[in-house]
C-alpha cells in the first residue's frame, strides 16, 4: 500500500508510529451506543462513563467463547495472539496462530512478550514508592531533583505528576530516535536495531521537539516523560532504574517472567514480532531482536500475559504502594476523541476504561512488531491480558486516518467476552464496531 507523504507525517506527528503508543480495543456498550457511534461518524464505539450507566457484574468465564473469539482474531488476519483471563481463582489461558510465519511454529499462552508502554505502570509504581517514603513530592518542579536535565523555566514548571499523567507539554523523542519515519521510510528502524541510546540522549530528542503545550495545560502522550521519570528514579535511589524496579516492583509483586532485557534478545520462549508500518513494510518484517535502550523505563520490559495479571492484582490490592499513593495513581485526566467522546481516563502510569460490565484499570503498549493490552477490575478479581505479534496492519485512507480493520473488531469481541462474559450484554454488542489503535496526541482532556 502506498502512503501519501503528508499522511505518514501526520501520523508521525500524532505519535501513532512511535514505539509505544496508547491504544484501546473495545466494543460499544449496547446497540444504542453502536447506533450513536454510526450516527456521529466516528467509525468506532461510544464508551460511556460509569456515572452514565449501570455497570452489571461480569459473568463467569465462558471457555468455549473465549477460545472462539481468540481464534476469530487469528482468522481476521493476526499472525499470533495469546491471552490470559481470570475471574477470582478461575483462570483461562489460550493462544492462536503462529509465532513464526516461515516455519509455522505455533504461539503458546506463556510466551515472553515485549510489553511496551505497559512498562509505564512499573515505573510509576517505583516513583510512588519514593513518594511514600518522603523522598519525592509529586507537585515539586523536576528541576529540584534533576537540575539542568530539563533546562530553564520548563524545568521549574514541570512536575513529576505532569510527567506521569502526560501533561508536561514535552514532545515525544521518537522522531529524533527514528528520523526516517517522518520521511515515509522505515530505514531507521533497521539502522538502529543495535543502536545503544542513553536516556539523556532520548530526553534531548524530546526537548528538541515542538512542545505540545504549556506545562499542565493539556494531556499529550509522550514517551519522553517516562524516560525523565526513570532518570528521576535513579537520582532518588542511587541505583539503575532497571535494578530498582526489578527488586522493588517486579520482585515484590512475585513476577516470575518479567524483566528488563540486557541484550537485544528475548530470553525464554517467545514469538517473532512483525511490523507492517501501515504497508510501508511489505511483507511485514520481524523485529523481535532489537536493542531496547530506545524505550528505557517508558517501554522496555518483557513479560507474560499471566505475569501482567499478577502485577495488577498486587498493585490494586495494595501490595506495591499504600492506599494514598494508589489513590494518586487513580486520579485521572479524561481523554476524548474529536467528537468529544470520553475514550479513557489516564492516571499516573495506568488508565481507567469503562466497559459494559464496569470500570477496568490497566494500560496497553506497542513496540515495533508487538502489541499488548491488560485490564483489571478495581478489586483485581476480573482480568484480561492479550499480546499480538503483528503491528500496524491497518490501512490508511486518503486523509491519513487509520481505518478499522477486522482484527480490531475481533480483538474487541475477545476482550468483551474476557472482561464481561457472554451474558452481560446483548449478542449484538459483539458485532459492534471497535475503536482501533488511536494516537493520544490528537486527544484533548474532556471539558466540564
End-to-end CA distance of the chain: 41
Instruction: Give backbone dihedrals phi and psi of 347, rounded to 5 degrees, phi first.
Output: -100, -135
Question: How is the chain split among helix, strand and coil, in percent rounded to 5?
Answer: 40, 15, 45
Give yes or no for a contact between 125 and 103, defined as CB atoms under 8 angstroms apart. Answer: no
**Cα 68 versus chain centre, distance:** 25
Cα-Cα-Cα-Cα dihedral sign, residues 184, 187, 193, 195: negative
User: Which residue in the block uniquely carries the three cell numbers 481505518?
Assistant: 403
User: Which residue in the block uniquely carries the three cell numbers 449478542?
Assistant: 427
Q: Which residues pair with 335 in a beta bridge?
A: 344, 445
Beta carbons within 8 Å of 146's beta carbon, 6+ residues apart: 155, 228, 231, 232, 235
Pick the catalytic residue: 7, 117, 124, 168? 117
Beta carbons within 8 Å of 310's beta carbon, 6+ residues apart: 253, 254, 255
Count CA atoms within 13 Å of residue 435 on its CB side.
27
The CA distance from 28 to 417, in Å, is 13
Q: Are strands 390-391 and 274-275 parallel, antiparallel or unpaired?
A: parallel
Going by the DSSP 8-state scheme, the letter that residue 326 receives in this structure is H
| Inter-helix orientation angle 223-237/119-132, to 10° | 40
**Cα 256 versus chain centre, distance:** 21
84 catalytically annotated? no
**Closest C-alpha to 349, from 326, 324, 381, 368:** 326
How many residues would you count in the chain? 448
Number of Cβ atoms within 10 Å of the Cβ of 134: 7
Catalytic residues: 117
Amino acid at each position: 500500500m502506498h502512503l501519501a507523504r503528508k499522511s505518514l507525517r501526520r501520523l508521525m506527528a500524532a505519535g501513532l508510529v512511535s514505539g509505544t503508543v496508547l491504544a484501546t480495543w473495545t466494543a460499544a456498550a449496547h446497540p444504542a451506543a453502536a447506533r450513536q457511534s454510526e450516527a456521529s461518524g466516528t467509525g468506532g464505539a461510544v464508551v460511556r462513563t460509569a456515572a452514565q450507566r449501570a455497570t452489571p457484574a461480569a459473568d463467569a468465564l465462558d471457555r468455549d467463547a473465549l477460545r472462539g473469539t481468540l481464534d476469530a482474531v487469528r482468522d481476521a488476519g493476526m499472525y499470533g495472539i495469546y491471552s490470559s483471563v481470570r475471574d477470582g481463582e478461575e483462570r483461562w489461558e489460550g493462544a492462536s496462530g503462529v509465532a513464526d510465519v516461515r516455519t509455522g511454529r505455533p504461539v503458546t499462552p506463556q510466551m515472553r512478550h515485549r510489553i511496551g508502554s505497559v512498562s509505564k505502570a512499573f515505573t510509576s509504581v517505583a516513583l510512588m514508592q519514593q513518594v511514600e517514603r518522603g523522598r519525592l513530592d509529586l507537585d515539586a518542579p523536576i528541576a529540584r531533583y534533576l537540575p539542568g536535565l530539563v533546562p530553564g523555566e520548563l524545568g521549574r514548571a514541570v512536575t513529576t505528576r505532569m510527567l506521569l499523567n502526560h501533561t508536561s507539554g514535552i514532545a515525544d523523542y521518537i522522531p529524533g530516535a527514528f528520523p526516517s519515519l517522518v520521511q515515509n521510510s522505515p530505514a531507521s528502524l533497521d539502522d538502529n536495531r543495535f543502536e545503544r541510546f542513553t536516556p539523556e540522549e532520548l530526553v534531548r530528542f524530546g526537548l528538541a521537539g515542538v512542545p505540545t503545550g504549556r506545562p499542565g495545560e493539556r494531556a499529550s502522550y509522550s514517551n519522553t516523560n517516562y524516560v525523565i521519570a526513570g532518570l528521576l528514579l535513579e537520582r532518588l535511589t542511587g541505583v539503575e532504574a532497571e535494578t530498582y524496579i526489578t527488586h522493588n516492583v517486579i520482585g515484590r509483586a512475585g513476577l516470575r517472567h518479567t524483566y528488563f532485557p540486557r541484550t537485544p534478545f528475548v530470553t525464554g520462549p517467545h514469538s517473532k514480532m512483525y511490523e507492517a508500518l501501515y504497508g510501508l513494510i511489505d511483507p511485514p518484517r520481524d523485529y523481535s531482536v532489537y536493542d531496547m535502550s530506545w524505550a528505557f523505563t517508558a517501554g522496555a520490559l518483557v513479560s507474560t500475559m499471566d505475569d501482567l495479571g499478577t502485577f495488577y492484582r498486587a498493585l490494586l490490592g495494595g501490595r506495591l504502594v499504600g492506599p494514598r499513593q494508589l489513590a494518586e495513581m487513580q486520579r485521572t485526566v479524561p481523554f476524548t476523541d474529536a467528537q468529544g467522546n470520553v475514550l479513557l481516563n489516564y492516571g499516573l502510569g495506568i488508565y481507567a476504561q469503562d466497559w459494559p460490565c464496569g470500570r477496568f484499570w490497566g494500560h496497553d503498549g506497542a513496540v515495533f512488531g508487538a502489541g499488548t493490552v491488560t485490564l483489571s477490575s478495581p478489586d483485581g478479581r476480573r482480568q484480561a491480558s492479550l499480546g499480538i505479534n503483528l503491528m500496524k496492519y491497518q490501512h490508511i485512507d486518503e486523509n491519513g486516518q487509520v481505518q478499522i480493520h477486522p482484527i480490531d473488531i475481533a480483538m474487541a469481541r475477545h476482550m468483551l467476552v474476557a472482561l464481561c462474559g457472554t451474558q452481560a450484554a446483548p449478542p449484538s454488542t459483539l458485532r459492534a464496531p471497535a475503536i482501533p489503535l488511536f494516537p493520544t496526541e490528537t486527544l484533548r482532556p474532556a471539558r466540564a
